[in-house]
Amino acid sequence: MAFPKHADFIVIGAGIHGLSCAWRLAEKLIESGEDVGGRIVVLDKSGIAAGATGIACGVVRNNYFQPAMRELMAHSVGVWESDPEAFSYHPVGYMQISCESMHEDVAQIHAEQQAIGYDSAFIEGASACTAYMNDIFSDWQAQGITSVLHEKRGGYANNTPAMYGLAKKVEALGVRIITGVEVLGFTYEHGSSAVRAVETDKGTVTCEQVVVATGPWVRDFWSMLDLPSQITVKDLTGQTRQNVDMWRYWQLEEGVLTVPPETLMGNDGNMPPVIHVDTDAPLYSDVDGALITDELWGIYYKPDWHFNGIQGGAAPYKVNTPVNEVAIDPYGPSSPEFISSQDFAHMWVSALAHCHKRFEGMMPKYHREESGGIGCFTADSFPVFDCFRQNVSIIADSNHGYKMLGVGRLVADEVMGSEQELLKPFRFERFAKGELHPTSSSPFPWS
């Protein structure tokens, strides 16, 4: 099939946001009695889920301290639940297991989950938490835990199979997905800032609307659109900072313990919830007993048949290379401060052993997996969903991406003229207006 000369809607990026946006755009056209054929084109320089989406750990949760994030995630969890088979989704639930310094924050999350009807249980007190966890895992031995938030919804999806299931839905509605096409720039309408064509290495495609859904490559498209690399940020105290970098990069470390996934089954023989532990209990090496850290640390993990083992990660670290020099390689580090995979493995496997007796002595089973990678964060570490240059919608997920299956659908509704309340708290103008999101005590920048 020939490369198109025109498409009403061009979606750049065949990851979770681009495909979910194209899915909803097609539905909206069909609902209006219009033909989809040729009107929606998804372009990707590599392939379906070839970027950050394809190496995501796939966790789906609603564990957010920020009310706006929590409501947005509740919407997205509902989309995952709409077709678990197509999305390779496992609704096993999610557990936030925390020390006392996070108790108040997690209690607030639970209260606000209840307020929006999101099913979860909250367990408080060290003894009660230990008893609750021992009911799930007989060998639970984590120290310093005083609260457990157990989300009964959520879970995880298998990253690439889920996207091929989504792509199948998209193509069945008449959307054309074209891979191996690199976007080089934009052509603007004479006398206007609106984009009227997308320039690629295969030719120029005229268009009416553009959606940029490129994950950690959003910085490059932001630059192509001549949007500011540095911005003014007014924080929640009213203090204003000038010349703040719009984009920041963090390295996400993840790996796999190559044991049968069944190793992490619960006492009842079933798949357990996804586990996330944040604690300030001293973490000692499972190799030689040396102290690894006595500061707040966090890990997450789950049994995963797609990764063929126990898959998970830990809190990321900043990439301090100047932002315009960051080479966005989702498969590896790009900073002199790179923490070697051996150091991460030592910490993560020791943390697993801290939590479960069954993982003691498992260091030789660690395998570095192509997951995690470089994450592109906004100035406040929360997403930006907004329209620029009159007709370019940008989905900048700030590394909250994979779980947000519903965002592309909301953006599509806005492209079709229906403003979405769930997206309003994520407009670009919040930085200058001082309408930032509150932050929690978590060691993870996305919380």
Cα angle 326-330-333, degrees, rounded to a multiple of 5: 55
Residue range(s) of every CATH 3.50.50.60 domain in the chain = 1-90+155-241+380-447
Evaluate whether 428 touches 436 at the Cβ level (below 8 Å): no
Give percent of the chain with pLDDT exceeding 90. 77
Q: Tokens for 20?
A: 């979910």
Instruction: Give tens-digit pLDDT for 290-299.
Output: 999 999 999 9
pLDDT of residue 337: 37
Question: Hey, what are 202's tokens?
Answer: 């295969």
pLDDT at position 370 is: 65
Local structure of 276: helix, strand or coil: strand
- With a cut of 60, say whether residue 221 has pLDDT above it: yes
Mean pLDDT of the region 220-228: 96
Res. 342: pLDDT tops 80: no
* 392/269 Cα distance (integer angstroms): 49
CA distances from 231 to 182, 227, 241, 324, 433 (A): 28, 10, 9, 15, 12
Residue 380 CA to residue 233 CA, distance in Å, equals: 9
- Overall pTM surpassing 0.85 (yes/no): yes
Q: How confident is the model at residue 251 (pLDDT cuts 50, 70, 90)?
A: confident
Query: Helices marked H in 116-215 — which ranges?
Result: 126-136, 159-172
Residue 324's pLDDT band (cuts 50, 70, 90)? low
For residues 42 and 11, is the Cβ–Cβ distance under 8 A? yes
Q: pLDDT value at position 447? A: 62
Mean pLDDT of 303-331: 70
The helix or strand, by DSSP H or E, that contains position 313, with its residue range, turns out to be strand 309-314
Instruction: Label the pairing between strands 120-124 and 147-151.
Output: antiparallel
Asked whether the beta carbons of 11 and 393 are under 8 A apart, the reply is no
Query: Going by CATH, does the domain composed of 1-90+155-241+380-447 fall within 3.40.50.1980?
Result: no
Q: For residue 310, give the nearest of 318, 298, 301, 300 by alpha carbon.
A: 301
Mean pLDDT score, 177-198: 94
Q: In CATH terms, is domain 94-152+248-377 a member of 3.30.9.10?
A: yes
What is the pLDDT, as a whole number, of residue 165?
A: 97
DSSP designation for 15: S
Q: CA dist 347 to 71, 290, 303, 323, 355, Å?
A: 33, 11, 19, 28, 12
Which one has a higher pLDDT value, 66 or 172? 172
Looking at the DSSP bridge assignments, the partners of residue 33 are none
Amino acid in position 14? A
The SS3 of residue 242 is strand
For residue range 367-397, list pLDDT tens digits in order: 876 666 678 899 998 999 999 999 999 999 9
Nearest to 436, CA basis, from 383, 361, 377: 383
Q: What is the pLDDT of residue 300?
A: 95
The rounded distance, in Å, linking the Cα atoms of 401 and 33 is 32
Q: Is the pLDDT confidence value at 333 over 60?
A: no
Instruction: Please state the rounded mean pLDDT for residues 218-231.
Output: 96
Q: In the predicted model, what is the mean pLDDT of residues 148-153?
A: 97
Average pLDDT over residues 342-351: 90
**pLDDT at residue 312 greater than cutoff 60:** yes
In this predicted structure, which of 35-44, 122-131, 174-183, 330-339 has the lowest mean pLDDT? 330-339
Residue given tokens 């681009």 in the structure block = 18
pLDDT score recorded for residue 372: 62
Q: Is 384 helix (H, G, I), strand (E, B) or coil?
A: strand
Residue 88 has pLDDT above 50, yes or no: yes
Find the angle CA(31)-CA(36)-CA(38) to the nearest 5 degrees: 165
**CATH 3.30.9.10 domain position(s) in the chain:** 94-152+248-377
**Across the chain, what does the average pLDDT equal?**
91
pLDDT the model gives residue 54: 82
Long-range contacts, stretch 237-246, CB < 8 angstroms, 24+ apart: 238/434, 240/434, 244/379, 244/431, 245/323, 245/379, 246/219, 246/222, 246/378, 246/379
List the single range of 6-20, 49-63, 326-340 with lowest mean pLDDT: 326-340
